[in-house]
Amino acid sequence: MRYDDIIVGAGSSGATLAARLSEDPNRSVLLLEAGPDYGTIKETPHDLLRTTISMADHDWGWSAQAISQREMPFYRGKVTGGCSAINAAVAIRGVPADFDEWAVAGNDRWSFDQVLPFFRKLEHDADFGGDLHGKGGPIWIERPKPLNWHPTVAAFYAACREMGFPDSPDFNHPESTGVGPCARNLRDGIRVSTAIAYLGPARNRLNLTVRGGCVADRVIIENGRVAGVEVQIEGKVNRVDGKRLTLCAGAFASPAILMRSGVGPRAELERHGIRTLVDAPGVGGNLIDHPSVTTLAALSSDALKQAPQTDHSRFSVLLRYTAGGSTEFNDMQLYLMPLVDLAMWPGAPFPPEFPPPLMATCVLQRPRSRGKLRLRSVDPMKQPDIQLNYFDEPEDMRRMIDGLRLGWLLMYTPEIALGWQGPIAGMAGQTLDQATIDSNDALADFIRGNCTSIGHPVGTAKMGPDSDREAVLDQYCRVRGVENLRVVDASVMPNIVRANTNLTCIMIGERVADWMRAEV
């Protein structure tokens, strides 16, 4: 069978795209996913539904170089729904300036005014309405009520307000900044992934086929246009033919598939014996991620006693702010979370005897540093070489130092201090003390030794105008040099958004689906 549309990757963008394209009953759509496919909520394992983050059974098991000579795990969802099925369910948009910057860079169909209708289309906001929010969309969004905040989280909110940070009841308002409840795609405690929200209602369509356990090897390109895709199923290579093909495999896998297909930097392809069909130097470059540093302290006995009646071990309250001395609006996030129940974090790198901790995390939302991705092998089962190059730019380190000091100050405010007992340590086990906080050099060393990712890689096949030699795609997400081939996922972002990326990836799927449905 020759499909009208083949979509590789059933994650935040891919599941969205498949559901929208299959609304046309005359279009045959095949959605391929490397991980397992669960057809109903009843069939879906617990770790994909009611955990804070799942780092266990549905992960690719990949790693990345955070900085030179330091490798860390990099969690990626390997299941229908992709990272939307395993993530922290934070449902926050980037700020308008993020999208307007994309437009100024030569992608005028991606300004905030242009993408807002698609953010509204994807969501059902249970708390806010009007022109800035959606009703009736597939993704349920709600915010935890103050009555349900854990007392330590309520103390965090109060301490931020005392420091002068504004109250921010709605982080999806374009001008929002400050401290407030975290918008989340949770409903009745269940993570609303794109597998549930988009594919669930679409599965009864005869023109939509969803296949799990299919690892994409390469796109088949004949005479400059897509002919199909080769996938590995239980170790055997299979070819599937299609009129159009869209890679939605994420910012790591999509550029790797392009390179294995002969689309990428010529020198990199020749290094692996791959014939160059399109010399595209930007494939695998411009890798951007949100670096974070997490510190942990044991929860106090009072904090543990107060937990049962509260929304604990979830992201409840967030501080979104501009770093001191920065010109980048909302370039930082900071949050405190009492991890009362470590079972809510399956696969997390805590030792078995670790006590329930209070977790304080500082995240750089507007990094200047850039990484890159290259192939390690032509084998699709081997992960690519991922170099994040965190803190290559001094301004990134300066802002992270500023953020760690703010987090330290908050931890020692009297009401928050009631919720934990010392010492404070990084994820790598290194103790954080006052002497380290007071020294720029010592704190920078602590950051380098304890930094990790919150899982937001973007930019590795960015869109841009013809004049940008590093732009792999045009602004309609079409791959230059190959007819009927697109990339539609986090790879396409020219720069990272100042927010958790899941909602933006869903929006990208919605935006491009409109264009693809209009094509003959």
Do 228 and 306 belong to one domain? no
- Between 127 and 428, the higher pLDDT residue: 127
Local confidence band at 422 (pLDDT 50, 70, 90 cut-offs): confident
Q: What angle do CA 313, 315, 320 make, to 5 degrees?
A: 150
Same-domain check for residues 502 and 436:
no
Whether residues 224 and 305 share a domain: the answer is: no
Q: Give me the sign of the Cα torsion angle 491, 496, 499, 500.
A: positive
Which residues, 6+ apart, have CB-to-CB distance to 280 below 8 Å?
Answer: 258, 263, 264, 265, 472, 479, 480, 481
- Identify whether residues 297 and 282 lie together within a single domain: no
**C-alpha closest to that of 249 among 468, 19, 34, 504:** 34
Phi, psi of 194 (to 5 degrees): -70, -25
Supply 304's token pair.
Answer: 């543990």
pLDDT at 292 over 90: yes
What is the arithmetic mean of pLDDT over 231-235? Answer: 94
One-letter amino acid identity for 394?
P
In a domain, 131, yes or no: no
* CB 193 within 8 Å of CB 85: yes
pLDDT of residue 306: 87
Q: Answer yes or no: is 434 within a domain.
A: yes
Task: Choose one of 405, 432, 453: the last residue of a domain.
Answer: 453
Q: Does one domain contain both 473 and 502? A: yes
Q: Is 69 exposed, middle or buried (0-12, 13-18, 19+ CB in 10 A)?
A: exposed
Same domain, 372 and 432: yes
- How do residues 243-269 score in pLDDT, each as one tens digit? 999 999 999 999 999 999 999 999 999
DSSP at 365 = S
Q: Which of 91, 171, 87, 158 is nearest to 123 (CA)?
A: 91
User: Can you give the pLDDT at residue 309?
Assistant: 78
Percent of the chain with pLDDT over 70: 100
> What are φ and ψ of residue 355, in 5° steps?
-75, 160
- Which residue shows structure tokens 């909302």? 330
pTM above 0.85, yes or no: yes
* Total number of domains in the chain: 2
Same domain, 403 and 303: yes
For residue 336, the 8-state DSSP code is E
Residue 179 lies in a domain: yes
Q: Do both 255 and 299 map to the same domain?
A: no
Q: Which of 58, 133, 290, 456 is catalytic?
A: 456
* Cis bond before residue 423 (omega within 30° of 0): yes
Structural domain contains residue 114 = no
Domain identity same for 332 and 434 = yes
Distances (CA, A) of 443 to 143, 401, 454: 34, 7, 20
For the segment 421-434, the average pLDDT, to the nearest whole number, is 93
Specify whether 415 is located in the same domain as 461.
Answer: no
What is the per-residue pLDDT across 157-171, written as a single tens digit (0 to 9) for each?
999 999 999 999 999
- 133 as an active site residue: the answer is no
Write the burial class of residue 474 (CB in 10 Å: 0-12 exposed, 13-18 middle, 19+ buried).
middle
Q: What is the pLDDT of residues 472-484, one digit of tens each?
A: 999 999 999 999 9
Instruction: Spell 87-104 as b/e; 16+ CB within 10 A means b.
Output: bbbbbbbbbbbbbbbbbe
| % of the chain at pLDDT higher than 90 | 93
Let me know if residue 106 belongs to a domain: no
Please report whether residue 137 resides in a domain: no
- Closest-CA residue to 24 (of 207, 176, 189, 169): 207
Task: For residue 291, give the amino acid letter.
Answer: P
> Which pLDDT does position 214 carry in this prediction?
98
> In CATH, what number is assigned to the domain containing residue 156?
3.30.560.10
What band does 146 get if pLDDT is binned at 50, 70 and 90?
very high
Closest CA to 330 of 110, 505, 499, 161: 499
Q: Sign (positive/negative) of CA torsion 467, 473, 477, 481? A: positive
Residue 111 lies in a domain: no
Task: Kindly indicate the confidence band of residue 308, based on its pLDDT and cuts at 50, 70 and 90.
Answer: confident
* Beta pairing partners, 29: 5, 208
**pLDDT reported for residue 56:** 86
Interacting residues of 485 by C-beta distance below 8 A, sequence separation 6+:
219, 221, 225, 226, 244, 245, 246, 247, 478, 479
Q: The CATH number of the domain where 279 resides is what?
A: 3.50.50.60
Q: Are 205 and 247 in contact (CB under 8 A)?
A: no
pLDDT band at 520 (very low <50, low <70, confident <90, very high): low
For the ranges 19-33, 225-239, 341-355, which has the lowest average pLDDT?
341-355
Q: Could you report the per-residue pLDDT of 38-70, keeping only the tens digit for each?
A: 999 999 999 999 999 998 899 999 999 999 989
The residue among 453, 482, 510 that closes a domain is 453
Whether the per-residue pLDDT at 297 is higher than 70: the answer is yes
**Tens digits of residue pLDDT in 320-371:** 999 999 999 999 999 999 999 888 999 888 777 789 999 999 999 999 999 9
- Shared domain for 81 and 199, answered yes or no, is yes
Binning pLDDT at 50, 70 and 90, where does residue 403 land? very high
Please report, as a single letter, which amino acid is at residue 319. Answer: L
Find the angle CA(31)-CA(37)-CA(38) to the nearest 5 degrees. 130
Q: Is residue 425, in this structure, part of any structural domain at all?
A: yes
**Structural domain containing residue 164:** 142-189+288-453
For the chain, first and last CA: distance in Å? Answer: 19
pLDDT mean across residues, the chain = 96
- Within this chain, do residues 379 and 437 fall inside the same structural domain, yes or no? yes
Q: Write the CA distances from 69 to 64, 387, 389, 398, integer angstroms.
A: 10, 10, 10, 21
Cβ-contact 456, 188 below 8 angstroms: no
Say how many C-beta atoms besides its own lie within 10 A of residue 428's C-beta: 13
The last residue of one of the domains, among 453, 469, 499, is 453
* pLDDT tens per residue across span 357-398: 999 999 999 999 999 999 999 999 999 999 999 999 999 999
- Given a cut of 90, whether residue 313 has pLDDT beyond it is no
DSSP state string for 491-515: GG-SS--SS-SHHHHHHHHHHHHHH
